[in-house]
Amino acid sequence: MKPSDPPAKAASAQDGPSLEEVIGNKRVVIVCGSGGVGKTTIAAALALHGAYLGRRTAVVTIDPARRLANALGLDSLQDEAAEIPRSVWDPDKKAPASGSYSAMMLDAKATFDRLVARYAADEAQIRRILSNTFYQNIAGALSGTQEYMAMEKLYELDQDGPYDLIVVDTPPSRNALDFLDAPGRLSRFLDARVFRYFLSPTRAYLKAVSSATRGVLKIVAKVIGSEVIDDAVEFFAAFEGMYDGFKDRASHVSDLLDADDTAYLLVASPRREAAAEAEFFAEKLVESGHPIAGLIVNRVHPRFSDLEPGVALGRAAALERTDKRANRLAILYKNLANFDRVADREAGNLAGLAGKCASAPIVLVPYMAHDVADFEGLDEISWYMFPEGEANPA
Ligand SMILES: Nc1ncnc2c1ncn2[C@@H]1O[C@H](COP(=O)(O)OP(=O)(O)OP(=O)(O)O)[C@@H](O)[C@H]1O
Ligand SMILES: [Mg+2]
């Protein structure tokens, strides 16, 4: 069931394309924002709108909540985007025939394995790397690997997939723009000169370095175990010959992130700390030359009336004084005042953020009474983001 009224749009001096135009025209949409604000949910709902606009759409999700993953038919073992049957995402047959909805859940390790297979010289090199313990540890867990693999996946889908629109969710990172730096960071890591010391046969590397470094390495070996260092040495040795391929690939991925056809949408929550984090995020995005194409404020408490909360409280007090039987109505007035106070506080929290996203469209998605765990829920979220869209005639 659809709610009857979309929330009022936040004031913004928008002069760029609308959110509808972004989803209708851009090829890549990157959904970013700090942890827990609803990036995965919003990414899945934006993609749904893309499909409703008749675009062949894919969404790459990262660690979706289990129930949403089930609804999207996602399985962590599958590293490909799978098309969801139309009857599931478009039960009312409103979307043009050209639209399609494919979804996948990022498996960073599987994506890394595929990259290794692509750039290795032969089967033996693939086996040597994939079976290396150091590789197995970094492939899934190295800070930044998940960010890079999400971007790598995007590049794969862009190059090989039959999609007009690719919506990418981003991992919850400590540093706002980890995913933008990730391609460079990974290639720097793989190419790091320091590891070249390790590449001389067995422990001979210890002789090649200064005595201070030798001391450090001995301590490191003691703490983490010398076999870990041996594994690392073996890993970097096995990687020889692949640096250039990886570096080249990383630079293509960076180009895609900088392309005109790639848009960045920021998801924020109206809570004070979350809005402050989003302001920081917005600044960093703009500074790095990636303007924000839209701000989606999620989990907003709507304002239910135009009454000043003080007036509502005054009415509650008057009712309580005059008529004991009217107490229930007094409670409703108090509730109304409380809800409207929350809404006013949230609007205040968002003022600075709206200024940072000055020319971008801003949409508000309310706090739903339930989790968003199926296509009906995604459709509802999408309706709030695109109240006038063709897909959702109001
Ligand atoms: N507007 C909303 N109303 C109610 N619940 C919501 C709304 N948006 C998202 N949720 C719920 O909030 C939870 C977190 O959402 P989601 O997983 O999309 O956040 P996230 O930003 O991707 O988190 P993380 O940073 O951990 O990846 C989910 O259970 C989702 O169903
Ligand atoms: Mg998420």
Verify whether ligand 1 is closer than 6 Å to residue 374 (CB atom): no
Q: Could you give the CA distance from residue 328 to residue 207 in angstroms, rounded to a whole number?
A: 83
Ordered by start, the domain boundaries in the chain are 19-117+142-179+251-305+338-385
Q: Pocket of ligand 1, candidates 34, 41, 269: which has the most ligand atoms within 8 Å of its Cβ, to mutate? A: 41
Per-residue confidence (pLDDT) for residue 220, from 0 to 100? 65
| Chain centroid offset of residue 211 CA | 45
Render the burial of 154-165: b for 16+ CB within 10 Å, e for the rest.
Answer: bbbbbeebebbb
Per-residue confidence (pLDDT) for residue 208, from 0 to 100? 54
DSSP annotation of 120 reads -
DSSP annotation of 143 reads T
377 Cα nearest atom in ligand 1: 31
Helix 178-190 and helix 145-160, axial crossing angle in degrees, nearest 10: 100
**CATH number attached to the domain at 19-117+142-179+251-305+338-385:** 3.40.50.300
Q: Could you give the CA distance from residue 130 to residue 138 in angstroms, rounded to a whole number?
A: 11
Q: Pocket of ligand 1, candidates 63, 346, 371: which has the most ligand atoms within 8 Å of its Cβ, to mutate? A: 371
Q: Which ranges of the chain have pLDDT less than 50?
A: 1-12, 201-202, 390-394
Per-residue confidence (pLDDT) for residue 178, from 0 to 100? 75
Residues in the chain: 394
**CB neighbours of residue 306 within 10 Å:** 7
Per-residue confidence (pLDDT) for residue 211, from 0 to 100? 63
